[in-house]
Structure 1
Amino acid sequence: MDRVAKLAAQKAVVVFSVSSCCMCHAVQRLFCELGVSPAVHELDKDPRGREMERALEKLVGRRAPAPVVFVGGELVGSTDRIMALHLGGKLKPLLRQAGALWL
């Protein structure tokens, strides 16, 4: 849990991902198109990935579907939450508030 919290706080946008996950790729692509460069932690490529996956499951309260996104050190959620915020016009203000977007 401590490792996840430390990693989540290291950058304005942090994505815990799985390298073969198309939804993870879509979320990362969205951030890049918005001009945000997230820190991406590939759980399947990290030696402590399974440990981090269990910690994310505890934070989310259920099996954590990849990706799991943090903005400003706070848990935002998975693909559905990110897309809902984006479509509702609330993602950019959240990213600005976290210092991930300047314009």
Structure 2
Amino acid sequence: MDKVTRLASEKGVVLFSKSSCCMCYAVKILFQELGVTPTVHELDQDPEGWEMEKALMRLGCNGPVPAIFIGGKLVGSTNEVMSLHLSRGLMPMLKPYQTLC
């Protein structure tokens, strides 16, 4: 649990993902289109990935991936991020982390 909370708070936008997850890919593309480069932790490529999955579930994630943190706070999974985006609530959260084009 400590590793997950530490990693989630080290950067502005953090995505816990699996390389084969299509929903994780969709979130990565959304962030790319919004001008944000998240720090991505691929759990299936990390030796401690299974422990991190369990920690994410304990933190309240419905499924272990994708798990999105913005500003060190758990936003949720794909549904929560897409709902925020459609209700125009995501951009204000991401504004400090957008790269200048």
Question: Which runs of structure 2 are paired with 1:59-70 in the superposition (5 Å)?
Answer: 59-60=59-60, 63-70=62-69
**Which residue is 2:58 aligned to?**
58
After superposing on structure 2, the runs of 4+ consecutive aligned residues of structure 1 that deviate more than 4 Å are none
Alignment RMSD (CA, Å):
1.4
* C-alpha spacing 1:78/1:63, structure 2 compared with 1 (3 Å): closer
Give the TM-score taking structure 2 as reference length.
0.93
CA distances 1:24-73 after superposition (whole Å, capped 9, x unpaired): 0000110011000000000111000000000000001x652410000000
| 2:21 alignment partner AA | C
SS of alignment partner, residue 97 of structure 2? coil
| 1:55 alignment partner AA | A
Distance 1:6 1:92 in 2: 24
SS of alignment partner, residue 9 of structure 1? helix
**Which residue is 1:40 aligned to?**
40
Pairwise CA distance, 1:78: 0.1
The count of residues paired between Structure 1 and Structure 2 equals 100
Unaligned stretches of 5+ residues in structure 2? none
| 2:87 alignment partner AA | G
Give the TM-score taking structure 1 as reference length.
0.91
Pairwise CA distance, 1:102: 6.5
Structure in which a larger fraction of residues adopt helix: 2
Does the CA contact (< 8 Å) of 2:13 and 2:37 recur in 1?
yes
Unaligned stretches of 5+ residues in structure 1? none
Question: Which runs of structure 2 are paired with 1:2-41 in the superposition (5 Å)?
Answer: 2-41=2-41
**Which residue is 2:98 aligned to?**
101
